[in-house]
Structure 1
Amino acid sequence: MPREFLNTERIAYLTMEVALRPDIPTYSGGLGVLAGDTVRSAADLELPLVTVSLASRKGYFRQRLDANGRQQEEADPWEPSERARPLQARVVVPIEGRDVWVGGWLYVLEGGLGGRQPVILLDTDLGENSADDCELTHYLYGGDAAYRLKQEIVLGIGGARMLHALGFRVRQYHMNEGHAALLCLELMNRYAYPNDDLRPGETPYDIPRVRDLCNFTTHTPVEAGHDKFPYDLVDRVLGDFIDRQTLRRLAGEDQLNMTRLALNSSDYVNGVARRHAETSQHLFPGYHVRYVTNGVHPQTWTHVAFAGLYDRSLPGWSHEPELLVRADCCLSDEAVWQAHQAARRDLVALVRDRTGIGLDPEAFTLGFARRMTAYKRPELLFSDIARLKAIAGNHPLQIVMAGKAHPRDEEGKRAIEAIHAHMHELAGVIQTAYIPNYDMAVAATLVAGVDVWLNTPLPPWEASGTSGMKAAFNGVPHLSVLDGWWSEGRIEGVTGWAIGNGDADGDDATHLYEKLDQVVLPLFYQDRAGWLRLMKNVIAKNASYFNSHRMMRRYASDAYIR
């Protein structure tokens, strides 16, 4: 391990997935992309972080779609030795009564401003392990409950042990979701009291010390979304790693709830948007859930044409994105429109290359891309095909979509098929393209090249959402349900528009059609000066704030320095 990473105390950031670059498939979606942006901002700001994740040698999956939109999953392997260097240390973790060896790889992420951050990718594909144990770090979110529990042992317990073996001095641990919560059990064993010092009935663990070391960020606003494991499985896989009475007290009486374990073992707990923190507070009463609203990495998600414009007009923006607050008065209409046209050309080229569909480079383009699952409501836009066609009859409209469904999410897969059926219904009236195999590279082109970014989750299930923030760096306004970050970022008619009033039982489809037909499209086609004023407002009021530099400075001041 290079000495430069060991000469200062660091924050250990543990995450099941992390998006380092498009061709390293160690991420599946928003959680991993957020983790990658966290590391990139830490590099730019020179915050001492060390990230721990899994090597995920077989990746998530490569999506292939047939003509009817049926999703087929293909392997998406990568070779860690081509991008990272092997670690010299190895540790063991207890699984089903045997020692499983954990090695790893060091990936050095270099920020745009010269900072460097170590990322450790844990790997059990070692000669010392059985064939089954070698595969524990192969598949991101693969396998059954037993496989997931074993992965989380590798991440939490193995991650803590690997950091110790490599000589890192850890100031604080930050768990990105509950997947890493078994880290807390490892720390409890590390800081256990000598048995001779205990009175009858006393816990053998210095839990206050562990809590002082741990921070926990929850991303899931519904109870069903949190990892839980039955105790008979825990007993079989984890054995007597920790006193069962203590574990049940911290993680739940009926089953091991990873979120409750993290909540009870952390002094600092936060949600990822103001509304999400409120939802989490109701979901887990008795805990103090703060909020640090997510952000996105400025340079990663800003199209090269806009980055050049900002470099010329607002130098220093990539280190201090708050300088973008001046965009509304410092950027000319012509320069903003030229940058947008460059981004649009890249999107048109991508769609033609990946789908064979030729978009109209002058027509209003609506973008929607995210994980395809029920609560995201990807079909809401197509609720009334006749109404949608009538809207397009008033003003030309085209749609670009993308997104994967989890291999076991049959409802999400059916949604992709239904969208393709709607595409055929709209043929000749609304050009619609669905880009397969959504990843970071596709996302960057999409959020920059469309005219409006659409988001339609069922409230209050959107913890934060970050795609609209990425769009904001490219002057693209948001049209969204009032949930997640948009509850904070929306200034009606200034940074975008709301769909409905944020209630789960509202008629959001009708509100969406009305907003498109009566507000958004007329402004785009009939008031170009007003539209450009809107684009500059989006940059000035949303991009300047909803970025991962601000997010990391908040974590540093609120969580890490205490």
Structure 2
Amino acid sequence: MAISPTDDSAIESWESVAYFSMEIGLEKSIPTYAGGLGVLAGDTVRSAADMSVPLVAVSLVHRKGYFRQRLDAAGNQTEEPVDWPVAERLASLAPRVTVAIEGRRVQLRAWRYDVRGISGHVVPVLFLDADLPENAAEDRCLTDHLYGGDARYRLCQEVILGIGGVRMLRALGYRNIRRFHMNEGHAGLLTLELAHEKARERGETTITREVVQTIKPLCVFTTHTPVVAGHDQFPLTLVASVITGYGHDFDERAREFCLDGVLNMTQLALDHSHYVNGVAKRHGEVARQMFAQRMIDSI
């Protein structure tokens, strides 16, 4: 598929759907996916292109991919990074945005890849990248590994995807997005940024329940895994140390989605979405059992 031009004017500003996914499978030579979640995301993007849906997708660049598996003669597995030539496969975009992580300003850029549908309609896929010389060494690697590192690394990535993703869309001219679709809970923090935007518009300094109700119509959530361990959870102490761009406001909000001092990203996404679906009829049934107080549809 053709790489898009570097002219940022190619970005559309019409009313769109913004589709956020930690992984997206587009090509074998672009190792930004690990399995079913990424394959489904890639299929969703291709379908949107074929159906001329005004959609833009957001993910991370994952410069070292997921991992390459090797087996030795004894059958032992070893893993190694999958380095790939980002600049040869994607087009660099000019805007820079900043997120706060552990009190540091982390700058982000975006790379663009175009998915062209059968009618010629283009769906741009934006890959966020923290590997910039302006950033500290510990921050430049935050968009290297898909599902790599420890809980801190994962939470930092989710700050970049959710909060940084919304800010990058705004910087690129997407002002009229009608739906923000979270493909799994990794992107749940986008709801925090949307609520913060709305609070500022209203001249308020805190994110109230009333503010949250105004952003729910914008948000859609797809949950994938029926396994409890598959839902990201982070200790509140870690959340408070990593997410530092909103003062104590988010600390108070986060407690609403906690059990025993742990923030559940699925609960965060569920609470801020007006529509939620599973990925199959049976999965929808299982998800409704896991989250009994929620209305969860299926496809």
In structure 2, the CA distance between the partners of 1:253 and 1:90, relative to structure 1 (3 Å rule), is farther
Deviation track 1:449-472 (CA, whole Å, cap 9, x = no partner) reads: xxxxxxxxxxxxxxxxxxxxxxxx
Structure 1 residue 3: Cα displacement: 4.3
Aligned partner of residue 178 in structure 2, secondary structure: strand
What is aligned with 2:295?
Answer: 288
Counterpart residue type for residue 11 of structure 1: V
2:52–2:119 CA contact under 8 A, matched in 1: no
Give CA-to-partner distance per residue, 1:287-338, whole Å, 9 cap, x none: 100011xxxxxxxxxxxxxxxxxxxxxxxxxxxxxxxxxxxxxxxxxxxxxx
Q: How does 1:9-408 map to 2 (within 5 A)?
A: 9-168=15-174, 169-192=176-199, 193-195=202-204, 203=208, 206-239=211-244, 241=246, 242-250=249-257, 252=259, 254-292=261-299
Equivalent residues of 2:16, 2:179 under 8 A apart:
yes
| Separation in structure 2 between the aligned mates of residue 34 and residue 203 of structure 1, nearest angstrom | 34
Task: Give the AA of the match of 2:21.
Answer: T
Q: Deviations over 1:92-151 (max 9, x none)?
A: 001001111011101111234422110000000001101110000001100000000000
Checking the alignment, whether the CA contact within 8 Å between 1:252 and 1:260 is kept in structure 2 is no
Q: CA–CA distance in 2 between the matches of 1:255 and 1:180? A: 17
Distance 1:252 1:102, change over 3 A: farther
For 2:137 and 2:185, the matched residues in 1 are separated by 27
Provide Cα deviations, 1:421-480, integer angstroms capped at 9, x if missing partner.
Answer: xxxxxxxxxxxxxxxxxxxxxxxxxxxxxxxxxxxxxxxxxxxxxxxxxxxxxxxxxxxx
Contact 1:46 1:115 in 2 (8 A): yes
Shift in alpha-carbon separation, 1:206–1:263, aligned structure 2, 3 A? same
Letter in 2 for 1:160: V
Q: Which secondary structure state, in structure 2, belongs to the residue aligned with residue 76 of structure 1? A: coil
Unmatched 5+ stretches in structure 1: 293-562
Matched AA of 1:88:
A
Amino acid at match of 1:255: V
Shift of 1:70: 1.7
Letter in 2 for 1:234: V
State the Cα deviation string for residues 343-377 of structure 1 (Å, max 9, x = none): xxxxxxxxxxxxxxxxxxxxxxxxxxxxxxxxxxx
Structure 2 CA distance, aligned partners of 1:36 and 1:290?
21
Q: CA deviation at 1:256?
A: 0.9
Give, in angstroms, the shift of residue 75 of structure 1.
Answer: 1.9
Residues 74, 209 of structure 1: alpha-carbon distance in 2 compared, 3 angstrom cutoff: same
Q: Secondary structure at the match of 1:184?
A: helix
TM-score with structure 1 length normalisation?
Answer: 0.50
TM-score, normalized by length of structure 2?
0.92
Conserved 8 A contact 2:11-2:172: no
Q: What is the 5 A alignment of 1:377-456?
A: none
Q: Percent identity?
A: 52
Structure 1: how far apart are the matches of 2:272 and 2:250?
15
| Paired residues of 2:99 and 2:245 also in contact (CA < 8 A) | no
Query: Could you tell me which residue of structure 1 aligns to residue 4 of structure 2?
Result: none
Q: Which string of whole-angstrom CA distances, capped at 9 and with x for unpartnered residues, describes residues 183-210 of structure 1?
A: 00111111114349x9xxx927611111
Is residue 11–residue 173 contact of structure 2 (8 Å, CA) maintained in 1? no
Instruction: Tell me the alpha carbon deviations over residues 257-283 of structure 1, each in whole angstroms, 9 at most, x when there is no partner.
Output: 000000000000000011111111110
Q: In structure 1, how many angstroms separate the alpha carbons of the residues matched to 2:209 and 2:271? A: 16
SS of match in other structure, 2:141:
helix
For residue 97 of structure 2, what is the amino acid of its counterpart? Answer: V
1:7 shift after superposition: 4.3
Asked if the contact 2:114–2:122 (Cα under 8 Å) also holds between the matched residues in 1, the reply is yes
The residue type paired with residue 290 of structure 1 is D
SS of residue in 2 equivalent to 1:120: strand
Cα distance in 2 between the residues matched to 1:253 and 1:195: 30
More helix as a share of residues:
1
CA distance in 1, matches of 2:239, 2:151: 10
* 2:283 match: secondary structure: helix
Distance 1:253 1:247 in 2: 12
Q: Give the CA deviation at 1:2.
A: 5.0
Write the distance in 1 (CA, Å) between the matches of 2:36 and 2:188: 20
Partners of 1:279 and 1:15 lie apart in 2 by: 22
Question: 2: CA distance between counterparts of 1:84 and 1:210?
Answer: 32
For residues 247 and 30 of structure 1, the distance between their equivalents in structure 2, rounded to whole angstroms, comes to 29
1:290 partner SS: coil
8 Å Cα contact 1:227/1:257 also seen in 2? yes
RMSD: 1.8
Mean Cα deviation higher: 149-158 or 106-115: 106-115
SS for the counterpart of 1:236 is helix
- Secondary structure of 1:101's match? strand
* Greater than 3 Å deviation, 4+ residue runs: 1-5, 250-253
Q: 1:43 to 1:2 in 2, by over 3 A?
A: farther
